[in-house]
Amino acid sequence: MKKYTLLLLVLTLMSILAKAQPGNRMSAAFCIDEPFNTGAQGYNPPGALYQDGLGASFRMEVPVTLRLHFRASGGLAYYHSNVEPENIPLYLNAQPLAESRLYASYKMAPLKAGLQYYIIKYLYVSANAGYTVAINSPVTSTFIYSGGLGSALALDRHSGFDLSVDYGTGFKMEGANYYVNEVGLRIAYKFTF
């Protein structure tokens, strides 16, 4: 909890000190994503089966009004399994899931769209919904959603950095009726045109 409070304070301070960009110009961003597994709803504690992930995405942002922007993104995400292949039979005896492939590493392509609202010039909140497309069999293609807080930090008139944190559903395990939740940290290089 202290990590998240500190991150929120840093984002707020950076947003106050920076020159940033709500506005009326379309922008695009290349993002590096670091999703942290917070556990599955009603199943495993954080990190029990899956390590934190890594991802990359491309995001477009189109202003609807000066402060409200529509955004859409697509990318790739990867979660590495904590379960060694030789230990899968042990997990199968102790866990309710029935197939060893459920413990493989997860690869997926999250596609999202949503709204971003600038509270003040440098700080925004966002809400997104979309679909995770399965790239390997242990992940079910499914509806996902998230909400978060971010800060746009301008370097010059046409480029800057975007730092954000969000919480939401990451993916759904095949053969199980629950999601793995995640806290996502994101840094993006943003350019306007």
Q: Tell me the domains of the chain and their CATH numbers.
A: 2-20+28-187 (2.40.160.20)
For residue 149, pLDDT over 70 is answered with yes
DSSP state of 66: S
**What phi, psi does 151 have (nearest 5°)?**
-140, 130
What's the pLDDT tens digit per position in 44-103? 554 555 566 789 999 999 999 999 999 999 999 887 766 655 555 555 544 444 444 455
Query: Of 20, 13, 1, 4, which Cα lies nearest the Cα of 154?
Result: 20
What's the pLDDT tens digit per position in 124-143? 999 999 998 878 756 677 88
pLDDT at residue 40, as a whole number: 57
Mean pLDDT score, 107-119: 92
Instruction: Provide the Cα torsion 157, 161, 166, 168; round to 10°.
Output: 90
**What distance in Å separates the CA atoms of residue 165 and residue 183, rounded to the nearest whole number?**
7
Percent of the chain at pLDDT exceeding 90: 32
For residue 8, pLDDT over 70 is answered with no
